[in-house]
Structure 1
Amino acid sequence: MLDALQAGRHQHVTFAEHVAKAKDEHAARVAAACIAGKSELHMLGLRLGYQGGNVERLYYREPYNADFMVGIGLGMTPGRHAAADARLQESRRRSVQRRTIEVERLILADQRNRCTHFRMSGELCTTHAEQYPPPG
């Protein structure tokens, strides 16, 4: 910063200006992800400001540490480990299938639900806000 001050390149920015710029950048990232067709899980991570395995477990409504229960198979026969892993994968597949049906129903009820960000937060991304004006 001292170098920028001495060279005359430093610009004073108020906190409000910094927040406005950060909100604009975030809105641009959300709109780009929504248009690119990113998953609801990805959008949830953008909304919360992070994305990790625990967010995924909450999204798929898995019991905490479900993958740990399957584990690496120590003390299990190979068949039992494979069966436990198959149950976990089947649970995830059913969850995705249920959500796909639910999303189709939501879109039929309100076209704004085509916006992934709207489904996760109740707010349209900037791009979809132009396409789907609020009802009424």
Structure 2
Amino acid sequence: MAITRHATARWEGDLKSGEGRLSTPQSGLLDGTRYGFNSRFGDEKGTNPEELIAAAHAGCFAMALSAKLTEAGHAPTRLDARANVELSMDGGPNISRIRLTVEGEVPGLDAERFKQIANDAKENCPVSKALSAVTIELEAKLAS
């Protein structure tokens, strides 16, 4: 059985002076959220595709890591995940690298085993698999 999610985008105008609106009708979380050239390539307020990819990847990775830790007998107390999506302009815009970082509180687990399980989650979360054409790096550490 497949689960389908969707989002919509409307763009009006040319690339540099136009603007778009993103919506997620199923959840209602995004409802006409603004995005445009300057929110993507500059510092204007609004979202952009790379930020949304980063949010999706961080969320998916954190859930996958929680599942794998729990399967290994070490349910996490807390996982703080971050995804940095790099948009390179070399040869035209392209997503060149994603850096995942995670800090976790995981009772009874040593740092080396945490890194091993985190790497497995990185390799196997659905978003990582979908983004496999991009180099994905991982830094994983336990909270002290």
Report TM bin, short chain: under 0.3
Comparing both structures, which one devotes a greater share of its residues to helix?
1
Structure number with larger C-alpha Rg: 1
Q: Which has the higher contact order (CA 8 A, sep 6+)?
A: 1
Give TM-score, length-normalised by structure 1. Answer: 0.27
Comparing both structures, which one devotes a greater share of its residues to strand?
2
